Every structure is written in structure tokens, then in C-alpha cells.
Structure 1
Amino acid sequence: MKRALALALLTLLPLPALAQATGDLGLVVERASGSLLLVDRSDRAALTRIEGLGDLSHASLTYSPDERFAYVFGRDGGLTKVDLIDRKVVARTMQAGNSIGGAISDDGRLVAVSNYEPGGVKVFDAETLAPVADIPSAGKTIGLVDLPGRRFAWAVWDTGEVFMGDFSGAAPVVTSLGIAGVNPFDAVLTADAHTYLVGLFGEKGVMSYDLWSPETPPQKFLTDYGKTGADMPVYKMPHLQGWAFTEGQFALPAVGRHEVLWVDSETHADRGATPVHGQPVFIIAQPASPYVWVNFATPLNDTVQVIDSRDHKVVATLTPGKAVLHMEFAPRGAEVWISARDDDKVLIYDTHTREKLAEIAAKAPSGIFFTARAHRPGL
């Protein structure tokens, strides 16, 4: 009887903020106005606008493990902590002059930021944004990802060097993994945290690091790609964190080409290329399917194409709107949300029929980030 009474009393108590549902929420970066649009994925609706985040022209963000807080990395060097339940900025620090992204540790206690100016990686306490570590570098840092065990990995554009930082102890331990090549422009971690891939802009090739077996020498692949033809001007740098991993393959953007490249994820052997509409920027795998979706650099950036990873053929071409900058899938792949910056809209498509379901007004939207990212490494 006492237990039943206690349970009855508990049901009358107001739920704490942390118990409120966040699983169907997301944030859309409004790059021109320094604001975020909080959206409800289930209702396909905007809930509110959160302002005062500075320069978001190349912004990204990550989430705390409980999905309540977003950590936003602004181009102006600002690191901002946003509360999705209270719908407001709760902390902000100008930690550098120009930053390009960040990551949160696997235990959710540390937030790391990679900087262009003055370079290097800075690490902060996720609760307070108090500084924890400052790791300088001899140039712009790129490709920052979280690794298991309170570790991070990153590369340096100017020197080509790749580093791993271990922040599990009283003092950080930073280890060089060697030189990847000339001008690494981005990097990505596979979903199992096994392989760290570093793309090179200053030379042909991609460098692969085996993080499960650090003693294994890194391997370079795609070194012969593109040697038989002339590259086009690169209008927008591809984003490796939008590479697709599907059907035992890496689906990679061809820098300076209108192609998607396919590489065997185990052997790194070339599996061919798919001619596409323009220069790929993001290539993103549709969850629970064999398909990848691709968007493109200006001036051909009004189009999205869908490719079947089994035969490498384009199966659909969509024109959602002007200046498509980003795509984000519902966690189980039923929908894809697409930002059309110059139309001031986010478009929502059914991934099975590929028909538009809804649209949401937004101010020059770019990145779309659902809270499901809180549970995926490398983001």
C-alpha cells in the first residue's frame, strides 16, 4: 500500500526539465542573422528562434548526451551553449578569432574547438565552458573528431600533420600520428571509430589511419585519381563529415570534378565513379537503405541527387530550391530535411516517395542538426 501511495504521489509531481522530451527536436542554423531555429521533427514545425550567436556563416554544433544542450561553433570564434528546454543561450565565450568546428567527448564532459586563427585546439568544461586545455599548432586545425576514451583527433592544414589528444588524465597527452600529406582540408571518423580518414587538397589522395591498431602504418589511397584529366575550379570545399559509408564502401566527393567516387572500405580499392550534376559537397547515407543523397557547389546548387550504392547509378534528381546547403535525415531515414538558403526555407521530403511533405520558413538556413546526433561518435 505504501509503495502504491508513493507511486501515486510521484505521478502528481511536475517533471523536471531534464525529463522533458528532446528526441524529436533539432536546430537549424540561420547563417545570415546569427540565430538558430528550434524545430520539432514530429510536427514538422518551428518552435522558436534563439538569437545572439554571432557569425554563423560556417557554423556547426554538437549535443550533450542527454540532448538538452547544444554547443555551437561560430566562425567568429564564439562557443555558445544553448538550452533546448529553456530555449535560450546559457553560456558563451569568444575563444578564438576564427573557428571551424568542434566536438564533444564521449562522456559529454569536454567540448573541443578547432581554430583557424590563431590555430590549435581549445578544450572546455561542458558544464561551465571554463577552459581546460589549449593545444597550439603551426597552422589552421581541421577535421576535429571525438574518439572513445575522452580523446580527440585533428589535422593541421599548413603542416599536414595529424594529432591525437588524450584528455582522460590529469594533463592532456598529445601524440603526432605523422604527416598525412599536403594541405589536409577535412577529415572524418567512421561510425565504428575504427578509421580516421583525412582528405588532401594539395595533392591527390586520402590518408587512412587505423585507430584500433595505432601501430599499423597509415595507408594512402586514391593517389592516381584525376591524373588523366584537368580539374575544374573548386567553388566550395567538400565536407568529409558528409561522406557516406554504405554497402562496404566509402562514397567520396571528387574535389574539382562532377563525380562521386566509390572506394572499398576494407581494401581501399577503387570501385568506380558516378557522374553527377555538379561538384559534390555533402554525400550522406539514407539510414536503413542502400541510397546516398548528394548536394552540390555553386553555381549548380539547386539540385539534390540520389544514388543507389549497389550499382552506383543516379535514381532520382530533385530541385528543392535555391542554394541547397545541407541535408539531415530523420534517425530511421523516413524523412530528409533540406535547407534552401536563398529561398529562406527548409524543405521536408519523404525518402521513399521522394515527394515534398512540408516546408518551414527560415532565415538563410544552412546546417540542420537533429538531437539524435548526441548518440553518434565523430559528430
Structure 2
Amino acid sequence: MDRRAFARRLSSAARWFVFALSAGVVGLSGAQERGTGDLGVVIERASGSVLIVAHTTPEVLARVEGLGDLSHASVVFSRDQRFAYIFGRDGALTKIDLLRPGIVARVQQAGNSIGGAISQDGRLVVAQNYEPGGIVAFDADDLHRVAEVPAKAGPDGKASKVVGLADLPGQRFAYALFDAGEICVSDFSVPDTPRTECASAGRQPYDGLVTPDGRFYLAGLFGEDGVALWDSWHPEAGVRRILDGYGRGEALLPVYKMPHLRGWAQAGERLFLPAIGRHEVLVVDRRDWRELGRVAVAGQPVFVMARPDGREIWVNFAFPDNGRVQVIDAETLTVRDTLVPGQAVLHMEFTPKGDQVWVSCRDDDRVVVYDALTHQERNRFAARSPSGIFFTHRATRFGM
């Protein structure tokens, strides 16, 4: 082999080595060799820490501490699934490395925050804030502030709380203004000069979701019966109402915990949504947005989540029924199983192809892993007041 051919081959090997490092294929400086697609994090809300976990085994790999108030924390992942961005209730945004466990960057960006999203190209991380309201965009590499979009004032004259932030195609983000009753879309195609348009949605939109194709944004309404729908393909049509008055004329039960519309489910052409103040799951036709029926369940649903194959819908509940999980048959719309994993079930997460479902039991300080096909317990491990569970395959999906 002549020297030029050797140099070309060496250069190619060097490029592959650099790529492998960034993708998590090769370990370095104590980092374990593993693919990042097998990883995830479990929020330990009481201690301001997270567990880094692997779901193939399943097992706990490490704990990262010093993350502040995680009482309502959420997580998004970098494009290569190596880094997790954690949004704390105290307004802090923290970037952690899943392969070399530790904090990479951290900013105190607001006084009160409940989540965020990452852009389609993975270059911007955007936080949604309660206090002082509005959204703030950060560079995904080092978390320096890129731009912010203030929120319209609510009836009290203060900037509205922002909820339901979701990423859309084309560097856009949709979100709801709880106090101002609007849905807004901010376009960050020019990152430091975002363009924002808003439209009336109804009273107190409390959470939002985007369909898997990134086209439709839905915001649940807390102040009235109904859901607001916005079509990103036809923004000129504005916001329309669906499921209007689904509880009209009936007394609502006290709401002990706000349902998470983000924890929705789609199975074929059906959507499954939690009903506010009711012991029901709403079933909606994805094609025309009309109600198809309801499934009576054991309590007020919080998360309504589809197994990845769409065959089953798993539901957890608000207090006082939060020690149970029910499984709905997506075809017959009947409850086929009731599980009792532990006290205060806060969250569930399926592995990418749905062979497992992980369930956090806050008051028992444990996570229970079920075989999602047989509903039999497969494993369990200790965690400090666990809440949210997030696996890295979320990086490949809109609205996650």
C-alpha cells in the first residue's frame, strides 16, 4: 500500500472514530461502550436526581444528582440520543451526558417552569415557563440563550403561564397560554428572530399534544368541556373546537390532579384522551375528530398511553385511585386487566417496540417493569420517589 492510500485509509478511520464517539458507539475516559438507543432516565423528584437506566437488561447504570426541584420535571433528548435535557420546576434547564454520567451544562432560566421541547434539527432547546411566562430558546450545545418570546397577559395583567409546548416540523413550536386562552405557534427558522402567531382557543387550555406526523396540535380545555384543534397544514383556518360539551349537564368530580393530554394514545384511526373530572377515557375518530365512545375506568385518568403496536391502552389515575393501572383493549374498548404495581403510580413508559412497560411508584420508592404482552412483572428496582420515566427513542418523534 502506498503512503497516499494509507493516509486516506487512516483519515477515514479517524473520521469514523470521531463519529462513533458522538453517537455513543465507542467509550472513552471511563464511558461504557453501549448504544444510546438502549438508555433512558428516571426522575427522582424528592432528591433532585435522575437515574440513568438501560431497558434491554433492564438495569440502573448511574445516578446524577444536583438537578434542583424536579417535582414536575420533564426530559427531551439530543438528536444522537446521547444527551438528556431536564426541565426542572424551579426554572432550571440542565444538560446531562448519558454515557459519561454527569452535568454538561446548566442554566437558571426562569422562576417556575414545567417543561420544554427540542427543535426538529436538534439545535434548539425551548423551555415553557409559568413565571415569568413565555418561552425561551437555548443553543443545544452549551445552553446559551438564543431568543425568547414573551406571553400575552391574562386577565390579572400578568404574563400568561405557558403549557403544552410541542415541536412541529420546520423549526416551529406550538403551545398554549393558560391564562390568556390562546394557542400560539412560534417559528424559529431564523433562530434569533422568531415569528409568532396566536389564536383564541377557549378557557384555560391546560396541556397540548401533537399528532405523530406533526400536523395537528390539540389543547385540552380545563375551563370548559372541549378540546381546541389547530391544523399546521392550514393555519389560515384558525383554531376549531372538537368534543364540545362532552360533559355538559353533569356534575364534575373534584380534580385532584390535572390529566396529561401529552400522555395520549393513538391506535389506528382512534385517539384515546383522558376526560377531565370524569372516570372515563374518551375515544375519538382521528379522521373527523368526532367522539366514538367512552371507556369507563377505575378513576380519573392522568396518562392514557398506547402500547407501540396500538393493541392496548394503559391508563393510570389521580388520587385516590393512583395505586392502580388499567389496560384497555383498543379493539373492543373494554378493560381487560387491572394491575396494582404500588402506591402513587405517576408515570409509565414503553420500550421502543413495546415489549416492556416501566411504571413509577412514588410512595413505594420503586420502579416496576412489566412484560407489556403478558402483564406479568419482569423486574423491579429501588428509586427515590420516582416520577417521570423517559427513554431516548423519544428523540425520533414529534411532540416527545
Instruction: Tell me how far 1:72 sits from its aligned partner.
Output: 0.3
Structure 2 partner of 1:86:
100
Structure 1 partner of 2:67:
53
SS for the counterpart of 2:393 is helix
2:274–2:281 contact (8 Å) kept in structure 1? yes
Instruction: Tell me how far 1:174 sits from its aligned partner.
Output: 2.9
Structure 2 partner of 1:41:
55
Letter in 2 for 1:225: Y
CA-to-aligned-CA distance 1:255-290 (integer Å, 9 cap, x gap): 001000111112111111111000000000101132
Letter in 2 for 1:368: I
Is 2:350 aligned against 1:329?
A: yes
Instruction: Tell me how far 1:31 sits from its aligned partner.
Output: 0.3
Task: Pick one of 261, 275, 294 that aligns with 2:296.
Answer: 275
Structure-1 separation of matches of 2:162 and 2:214: 20
2:324–2:339 contact (8 Å) kept in structure 1? yes
2:147–2:194 contact (8 Å) kept in structure 1? no
Is 2:283 aligned against 1:262?
A: yes
Structure 1 partner of 2:29:
none
Structure 1 partner of 2:44:
30
Instruction: Tell me how far 1:224 sits from its aligned partner.
Output: 2.0
Task: Pick one of 74, 96, 103 that aligns with 2:110.
Answer: 96
Task: Pick one of 292, 295, 319 that aligns with 2:340.
Answer: 319
Instruction: Tell me how far 1:104 sits from its aligned partner.
Output: 0.4
Letter in 1 for 2:24: A
Structure-2 separation of matches of 1:268 and 1:170: 34
Classify 1:118/1:76 alpha carbon distance in 2 versus 1 (closer, same or farther; 3 Å).
same
Structure 1 runs of 4+ aligned residues shifted over 3 Å read: 1-7, 9-15
Letter in 2 for 1:178: A
Structure-1 separation of matches of 2:310 and 2:182: 36
Structure-2 separation of matches of 1:16 and 1:218: 45
SS for the counterpart of 1:43 is coil
Residues 10-159 of structure 1 aligned to structure 2 (within 5 Å) = 10=13, 16=21, 18-20=23-25, 21-137=35-151, 138=153, 139-159=160-180
Structure-1 separation of matches of 2:136 and 2:13: 43
| RMSD, aligned CA | 1.9
Instruction: Tell me how far 1:213 sits from its aligned partner.
Output: 1.6
Instruction: Tell me how far 1:171 sits from its aligned partner.
Output: 4.1
Structure-1 separation of matches of 2:310 and 2:186: 35
CA-to-aligned-CA distance 1:283-318 (integer Å, 9 cap, x gap): 001011321100000111010001112221111110
Letter in 1 for 2:107: T
Structure-2 separation of matches of 1:35 and 1:148: 32
Task: Pick one of 162, 173, 179 that aligns with 2:200.
Answer: 179
1:247–1:310 contact (8 Å) kept in structure 2? no
Judge which range, 171-180 or 262-271, deviates more.
Answer: 171-180
Structure 1 partner of 2:156:
none
Task: Pick one of 212, 216, 225 that aligns with 2:233.
Answer: 212
SS for the counterpart of 1:302 is coil
1:163–1:174 contact (8 Å) kept in structure 2? no
Query: What is the TM-score when the length of structure 1 is the normalising length?
Result: 0.96
Letter in 1 for 2:350: F
Judge which range, 206-215 or 73-82, deviates more.
Answer: 206-215
Classify 1:328/1:4 alpha carbon distance in 2 versus 1 (closer, same or farther; 3 Å).
farther
Structure-2 separation of matches of 1:271 and 1:231: 21
Letter in 1 for 2:293: G
Structure 2 partner of 1:286:
307
Structure 2 partner of 1:161:
182
Instruction: Tell me how far 1:133 sits from its aligned partner.
Output: 0.7
Structure-2 separation of matches of 1:26 and 1:16: 18
SS for the counterpart of 1:38 is strand
Instruction: Tell me how far 1:175 sits from its aligned partner.
Output: 2.9
Structure-2 separation of matches of 1:104 and 1:44: 27
Instruction: Tell me how far 1:10 sits from its aligned partner.
Output: 4.8
Structure-2 separation of matches of 1:171 and 1:367: 31
| Aligned residues with identical type, % of pairs | 53
SS for the counterpart of 2:245 is coil
Structure-2 separation of matches of 1:13 and 1:155: 43
Structure-2 separation of matches of 1:151 and 1:100: 19
2:299–2:317 contact (8 Å) kept in structure 1? yes
SS for the counterpart of 1:377 is coil
Query: What is the TM-score when the length of structure 2 is the normalising length?
Result: 0.91
Long gaps (5+) in structure 2:
26-34, 154-159
Letter in 2 for 1:114: Q
Is 2:298 aligned against 1:298?
A: no
Long gaps (5+) in structure 1:
none
